[in-house]
Structure 1
Amino acid sequence: MDTLKNLIKKNDSKILLIVLDGIGDLPLKDGKTPLETAETPNLDTLAKKSALGLHIPVDYGITPGSGPGHLGIFGYDPLKINIGRGVLEALGAGFELKETDVAIRGNFATVKYENGIPIVVDRRAGRIPTEENKRLIKNLSENISQIEDAQIILKSGMEHRFVAVFRFPHLVSSEVETINDTDPQAIGKPPLKPLGKGEMAEKVSRIAEIFSQKVAELLKNEPKANYVLLRGFSVKPNLETFEERFGLKAGCIATYPMYKGLASLVGMKIIDFEGMDIKDEIKTLKREWQNFDFIFLHIKKTDSSGEDGNFDMKTKIIEEFDSFLPEILALNP
């Protein structure tokens, strides 16, 4: 990194990093993927006069999650830096995490009970509306404020997602990151019991189990979101900022908290804007273009439509992005 820093020179050039998250796919229609199916005249023209290639964000044979994948794209080594989803979601949701905090990402989920045992029917509770999420979090926050010596802080995310922070009166160690997710990653299976290695991890696991039980009782009459799955038990790491590393003042335009959290973690300024659509992000990009040396623009809808198995919607989102490309290129990145 010292060699890289010695090469840094200030100039008027600007860099735009656009990530169409989850754009890769399978050839499910006429032997083509959504990207191959989409009509993308502007991307095709750009590709003809561009340097093209594949990026390996972590290493060969490793399929990374969003956190490690984006860290690699940003120029950090995800094999040396472990950042849990909980921290990313919490930072993206605006939490000022402390050294006494354990951050956890939560999913509202749907379960059915068989002989008293919860069985996961939908890991995302049908992607409930965000307004419904807020109602549920308000109810939970009013009824679960503390477990043992941990203050319980909850905040709504998008759709089925939320953030839980367990705030202790003492420092917490990274051993809590050994705690497994309670999400079984499949329907038809019971939620997993949170387990970790070490005294602190065992304590947090116990509190997480009690929290899940209390939530299940409070939500037992909800038609969809009657359970929660917990993921990414983590503590905030200390990282060199993007500007320290590359000499670039960086900004982030994103709609989903986790990506804002990751950008915030490396010192990017989170750019606020109204709306959730690509057109809103492009409008913000044009407004903020002169204020930064580097802008990271994240598009989530390609990923979420892929997660839902919606081939046609994913194709449509790619085509929508293509329609904005002339406006982006007019900025001369």
Structure 2
Amino acid sequence: MILVEKDLIHKAKTKIILFVIDGLGGIPRPEDGKTELEVANTPNLDALARKSVLGLINPVAPGVSPGSGPGHLSIFGYDPIQNEVGRGVLEALGVGMELTESDVAARGNFATLNDDGIIVDRRAGRPSDQDAARVVELLKENIKEIDGVQVLLQHVKGHRFVVVFRGDDLSGRVLETDPQQEGVPPLFPVPEKREAERTARIIWQFIQKAHYALLNEKKMNCVLLRGFSKLPSLQSFADRYKMDGVGIAVYPMYKGVARVIGLNILGNPQNFEEEVRILEESWPDHEFFFIHYKDTDEAGEDGDFDRKVAKLEEVDRFVPRLLALKPDVIAITGDHSTPALLRKHSWHPVPFMICGPYAGPDDCTAFTERQAKHGYYGRIKATDLMSLILANAGRTKKFGA
């Protein structure tokens, strides 16, 4: 980022809200040619769009479907190619685990295998937090150490958990065991490099021990692991942007993304209503607020177009409360697109809008993909979004004489 490389950022008495609507973007459905955003009744987002400048972001690069980690890092202005952060590290940080430099962390899913060893449900029927936490405790009791390596487990949410392997000479360069689809068997943990061979063997032993421990479970009878990774060294948000930043999110994954760049996490909200309340209560105390909404992404991944529309309409009802705080700049976007038609993250660009006293507006009249395509900012790299936010907040210097 040029603003960072050329030391063009300065402090200012301005406040910023970055609101990330997870999986925001979509693609048109065949019956009427409209996306979820175009079908949704979002009067508050549309009214804000008329006061804002719009555009589209490529979270990583054209044609690349990003994971949530790279998508968020890009929005925060960190190049996700140069600064790879694995899902395991993000999940572990998100649930408050403290990692050492030698740890290898992985995100785990409980899944359901049939008698032939084929995955029939990658999310094990979406178990309750209580039931999944019970199974995590079962694994803790049965798997404490493998070949001198300590095994640490913690429930995350629903079917998700984190496993951390703590010991010497471990490597995060192991391929995931989650095939990301049903109707096939789990994958083997394959080392990407020779130095990861021992780690892969330990992971395989963990999977086998977990399978044995879960023999009496009807749905949660398999573990799928992905995002094997070690703690990276990233420049902190405060040092990079010369301002105090905080994050507010329900899901640990997004708390982890915030923590890995040094944002302080506020509260422990269980829903978006609680997130907004925490934002309101803490408004006098900080300069930059990252707030996250998850439900749109889940609806898209479930292939439920109408539910994603409903979740966008739910989000819209909170916009007046965000604006009532009178932020100097509010930016709204998504970390990636999750079209219901595809049922997964996609490569499609994501709409964004920035509202501030110097932002615009342009001629866009609604917050949709089609409108954003004609916005003043055009199509940009997601890593440039923070530069625009900072500039609109009066936090940048002139470059050159």
Query: Which bin holds the TM-score, normalised by the shorter protein?
Result: over 0.9
Q: Who is 1:279 aligned against?
A: 273
Is the 8 Å Cα contact of residues 104 and 230 (structure 1) preserved in structure 2? yes
Aligned-pair identity (%): 50
Letter in 1 for 2:137: K
Q: Who is 2:111 aligned against?
A: 109
Q: Who is 2:98 aligned against?
A: 96
Partners of 1:196 and 1:73 lie apart in 2 by: 31
Q: Could you report, residue by residue, the CA deviation over 1:72-128 in whole angstroms, capped at 9, with x for unpaired residues?
A: 1000111111111000001001111002211010000001122xxx11101111111
Q: Who is 1:290 aligned against?
A: 284
Distance 1:80 1:209, change over 3 A: same
Partners of 1:274 and 1:187 lie apart in 2 by: 32
Equivalent of 1:59 in 52, 61, 66: 61
Equivalent of 2:43 in 41, 44, 47: 41
Equivalent of 1:195 in 176, 190, 208: 190
Equivalent of 1:82 in 75, 81, 84: 84
- Alignment gaps of 5+ in structure 2: 328-401
Is the 8 Å Cα contact of residues 91 and 260 (structure 1) preserved in structure 2? yes
Letter in 2 for 1:239: L
Q: Could you report, residue by residue, the CA deviation over 1:32-64 in whole angstroms, capped at 9, with x for unpaired residues?
A: 222111110111111111000011222222221
Count matched residues: 325
Letter in 1 for 2:14: S
- Matched residue of 2:53: which SS? coil
Is the 8 Å Cα contact of residues 99 and 171 (structure 1) preserved in structure 2? no
Letter in 2 for 1:230: L
Q: Who is 2:9 aligned against?
A: 8
Partners of 1:69 and 1:215 lie apart in 2 by: 31
* Higher RCO (CA-CA < 8 Å; seq separation 6+): 2
- Matched residue of 1:157: which SS? strand
Is the 8 Å Cα contact of residues 250 and 269 (structure 2) preserved in structure 1? no
Is the 8 Å Cα contact of residues 71 and 78 (structure 1) preserved in structure 2? yes
Q: Who is 1:22 aligned against?
A: 23
Q: Please state how far the C-alpha of 1:199 moved relative to its aligned partner.
A: 4.2
Equivalent of 2:232 in 228, 234, 237: 237
Q: Could you report, residue by residue, the CA deviation over 1:141-190 in whole angstroms, capped at 9, with x for unpaired residues?
A: 0111011111110000111100000010x254xxx333111011111101
Q: Who is 1:211 aligned against?
A: 206
Moved more, 85-94 or 286-295: 286-295
Partners of 1:158 and 1:3 lie apart in 2 by: 37
Equivalent of 1:180 in 135, 160, 175: 175
Q: Does 1:260 align with 2:255?
A: yes
TM-score, reference length from structure 1: 0.94
Distance 1:274 1:65, change over 3 A: closer
Q: Please state how far the C-alpha of 1:3 moved relative to its aligned partner.
A: 4.9
Partners of 2:111 and 2:32 lie apart in 1 by: 34
- Alignment gaps of 5+ in structure 1: none
Q: Please state how far the C-alpha of 1:211 moved relative to its aligned partner.
A: 0.8
- Matched residue of 1:321: which SS? helix
Partners of 1:53 and 1:34 lie apart in 2 by: 17
Is the 8 Å Cα contact of residues 87 and 235 (structure 1) preserved in structure 2? yes
Partners of 2:169 and 2:210 lie apart in 1 by: 26
Partners of 1:36 and 1:291 lie apart in 2 by: 36
Q: Does 1:330 align with 2:330?
A: no
Q: Does 1:149 align with 2:148?
A: yes
Partners of 1:220 and 1:165 lie apart in 2 by: 22
Is the 8 Å Cα contact of residues 73 and 80 (structure 2) preserved in structure 1? yes
Is the 8 Å Cα contact of residues 273 and 284 (structure 1) preserved in structure 2? no
Partners of 1:23 and 1:70 lie apart in 2 by: 13
Distance 1:207 1:290, change over 3 A: same
Partners of 2:302 and 2:60 lie apart in 1 by: 26
- Matched residue of 1:24: which SS? coil
| Runs of 4+ displaced beyond 6 Å | none
Partners of 1:73 and 1:93 lie apart in 2 by: 22
RMSD: 1.5
Is the 8 Å Cα contact of residues 133 and 157 (structure 1) preserved in structure 2? no
Letter in 2 for 1:158: K
Is the 8 Å Cα contact of residues 176 and 225 (structure 2) preserved in structure 1? yes
- Matched residue of 2:219: which SS? coil
